[in-house]
Structure 1
Amino acid sequence: MPKAYVFTRYGGPETEALVEQDRLSPGPGQILVAVRAAGVNPVDWKQRTGYRRVGGPARELPAVFGNEVAGIVEEVGPDVTGFTTGDAVFGNPATGGYAEYAVLPVALTAHKPAALSFTDAATLPVAAATAYDGIRQLDLPSGATVLITGAGGGVGVAATQIARALGLRVIGVASDGKKDFVESLGAVHVPSAPFGPDLAERVRAAAPDGVDAVFDLVGGEVLEAAATLLTDRTKLITGADRETATRLGGGAVERARTAAVLDEVAKLAVDGTLRPFVTRTFPLDRAGEALRAVEDGHARGKIVIEVSA
């Protein structure tokens, strides 16, 4: 039977398990994919804790981890056009991605370019697409300055590269250990610690002419400090802390969640504008280690679970 990495109840790492499950079947507008690679993101472990569960639909447990995959179409559901068995694809699974098989809605699936590896393609549907949507939402003119907090993580790395390609100046907030990495992306590094008001002063020193927008990927104290740098809070967006951003006069990243966006970020990856920066890979039977690498907050770039060859 196919294997999948799941959480059996809401809580901490003790709820996780590698299990066998029945092979899935695609419904209308869906395809079944043999997963080759699955991206690992902070939202994965947050969902295990019950993040965004209140007021939302009940989730059937055990639930499979993972929100982005790349693989090969195994079966096509009713009313599906544009995809056929054997196609290489990537997208957002409806059934979790840390698994040998996943069901994907075709509305959130794109064809994988031949020049893009499965491992790199698996990093695009969440992190790169969020970065793409956020930078487009800010709609800054060339030459403007954007502050990106969490610049060394998956979304931050993608956002920095996309912003630089559009001619924006990037101030990247990240840990001291990620200084060289953030600067290699073309950003001006500002150390994230210590948190609090001192962070805003460090940014002002790095950008004496001010910042035109904030793309936050950390939330909390970091977001609070970053907001003080803006006079126009409509240019404050977050992918981490909607509640705080809204209270401060900003808002969340408005996700397009379309196959068209996936096509666009794939093009950026193929032409070299967007480098996925996969820094570590793990097999499915070590998915817990992959998740810990992201959950501890120190991951650089992207972590990917490689499911099959």
Structure 2
Amino acid sequence: MSEAFGFRAFGGPQVQEFFDRPDPVPEPAEVLIRVTAAGVNPLDHKLRSGVVPHFYGERPFPQVFGAEATGVVLAVGAEVEGLDVGDTVFGCAITGAGTYAGTTVLVGANTARKPAGLRDDWAATIPVAATSALNAVDQLDLPRGATVLINGVGGGVGLVTAQVAREQGLNVIGTGGTAKRTLAEAVGARFVDYTDGDVVDRVRALVPDGVDGLVDLVGGASLRTVAPLAREPGKVVSVADATVAELGGEMVRRRVDRADLERAAALMVEGRLDPYIVGTYPLARAAEALALVESGHALGKVVIDLTRGPGVGAAE
């Protein structure tokens, strides 16, 4: 048995709860891990809200929050290659298994060994946030010297996307609220404050002819406002809003295989990528961690550290 934090029905924060559950049994293509750290993402509260109930198939409630984790392998399915009991790994949980828990199961093909020198909490930010950034920039396939606009640059995915883009020789412009300026500029983005005048006019003041590519992390009206800034509609990709197709763009084609996990980990170990963790919470305070991300005011990435006691406060 292990403690877990999840939700008993689709809805708002009122459906969240702690509960004990038996350790999951890995299927042939899965590994069972003891979780040491779990990343917190907007996807977590969106799934709780029920906007994509089909993600859970026939799994009964309660569901466990979380999709990305680091941990130690306790058992390995018969079809999993390259991973052994005792390895420290990071990867993606199967939908519904969650990662805000003492133990969980990860998809073997979407799990990698954690390299020496990489902190557990940093590794826990890779499977969703860092691979989303890699996938988005790869999909745009822009030449060095091109300009990319990141709509929503100040969050966990946005900051990593800016760094990946800069690593590939791109010029970066990022939009966000006033509080996001310092971090955005720290990763080399030219920042446009969407609360300080017309965002389109302010971007065009920097690039009168528009941008070569656009990564949207916000969706909705914000996406529709900035999409015309891309010179080619096909060079607009979104991780947040499938209606980007109506604008001529595409959803980011997600690829969370072992190669991309290892690629992001190498960038971190080499000091070329920083997840900008701004809050670390023990499992007992998982509701606070999730509320911070759900508020939209997290200045970077939030992580749950399952090795910390309940009395330990969040790192600032």
* Distance verdict in 2 for CA 1:225–1:256, change over 3 Å: same
Query: Secondary structure of 1:300's match?
Result: coil
> What pairs up with 1:287-298 in 2 under 5 angstroms?
287-298=286-297
Q: Distance in 1 between matches of 2:110 and 2:19?
A: 26
Q: Distance in 1 between matches of 2:194 and 2:305?
A: 31
The residue that corresponds to 1:51 in the other structure is 51
Q: Give the fraction of aligned pairs with identical amino acids, expressed as a percent.
A: 45
Give 1:274's aligned amino acid.
L
> What pairs up with 1:7-86 in 2 under 5 angstroms?
7-53=7-53, 57-86=57-86
Give 1:271's aligned amino acid.
E
Question: 1:194 offset after TM fit, Å?
Answer: 6.1
Give 1:29's aligned amino acid.
A
The residue that corresponds to 1:160 in the other structure is 162
The residue that corresponds to 1:229 in the other structure is 229
> What pairs up with 1:36-185 in 2 under 5 angstroms?
36-53=36-53, 57-94=57-94, 95-185=97-187
* Distance verdict in 2 for CA 1:279–1:35, change over 3 Å: same
Question: 1:207 offset after TM fit, Å?
Answer: 2.2
> What pairs up with 1:203-222 in 2 under 5 angstroms?
203-222=203-222
Question: 1:193 offset after TM fit, Å?
Answer: 2.2
Question: 1:54 offset after TM fit, Å?
Answer: 5.4
Question: 1:133 offset after TM fit, Å?
Answer: 0.5
* Distance verdict in 2 for CA 1:12–1:203, change over 3 Å: same
Structure 1 stretch displaced more, 169-178 or 200-209:
200-209
Q: Distance in 2 between matches of 1:100 and 1:169?
A: 41
Contact kept in structure 1, 2:2 and 2:103, CA below 8 Å: yes
Question: 1:272 offset after TM fit, Å?
Answer: 1.2
Question: 1:82 offset after TM fit, Å?
Answer: 1.4
Gaps of 5+ in 1: none
Query: Secondary structure of 1:36's match?
Result: strand
Query: Secondary structure of 2:53's match?
Result: coil
> What pairs up with 1:198-277 in 2 under 5 angstroms?
198-243=198-243, 245-277=244-276
Q: Deviations over 1:143-199 (max 9, x none)?
A: 00000011011111110000011110000101111111111110000012268xx22
Instruction: Quote the RMSD (CA, aligned, Å).
Output: 1.4
Query: Secondary structure of 2:37's match?
Result: strand
The residue that corresponds to 2:314 in the other structure is none
Q: Distance in 2 between matches of 1:25 and 1:57?
A: 18
Query: Secondary structure of 2:203's match?
Result: helix
Give 1:158's aligned amino acid.
V
Query: Secondary structure of 1:106's match?
Result: strand
* Distance verdict in 2 for CA 1:50–1:210, change over 3 Å: same
The residue that corresponds to 1:304 in the other structure is 303
TM-score under structure 1 normalisation? 0.96
Contact kept in structure 2, 1:33 and 1:72, CA below 8 Å: yes
Structure 1 stretch displaced more, 61-70 or 185-194:
185-194
Contact kept in structure 2, 1:199 and 1:222, CA below 8 Å: no
Contact kept in structure 1, 2:68 and 2:91, CA below 8 Å: yes
Give 1:305's aligned amino acid.
I
Q: Distance in 2 between matches of 1:105 and 1:266?
A: 18
Q: Distance in 1 between matches of 2:196 and 2:48?
A: 29
* Distance verdict in 2 for CA 1:113–1:298, change over 3 Å: same
Give 1:80's aligned amino acid.
V
Q: Distance in 2 between matches of 1:144 and 1:80?
A: 40
Give 1:57's aligned amino acid.
G
Structure 1 stretch displaced more, 38-47 or 58-67:
58-67
Q: Deviations over 1:32-86 (max 9, x none)?
A: 1000000000000000001222597344211000010001001112233311111
* Distance verdict in 2 for CA 1:82–1:249, change over 3 Å: same
TM-score under structure 2 normalisation? 0.94
Give 1:292's aligned amino acid.
A
Question: 1:206 offset after TM fit, Å?
Answer: 2.4
> What pairs up with 1:274-289 in 2 under 5 angstroms?
274-289=273-288
Question: 1:8 offset after TM fit, Å?
Answer: 0.4
The residue that corresponds to 1:6 in the other structure is 6
Give 2:148's aligned amino acid.
V
Q: Deviations over 1:260-304 (max 9, x none)?
A: 110111111111111011111000011000000100000011000
Query: Secondary structure of 1:107's match?
Result: strand
Q: Distance in 1 between matches of 2:112 and 2:194?
A: 36
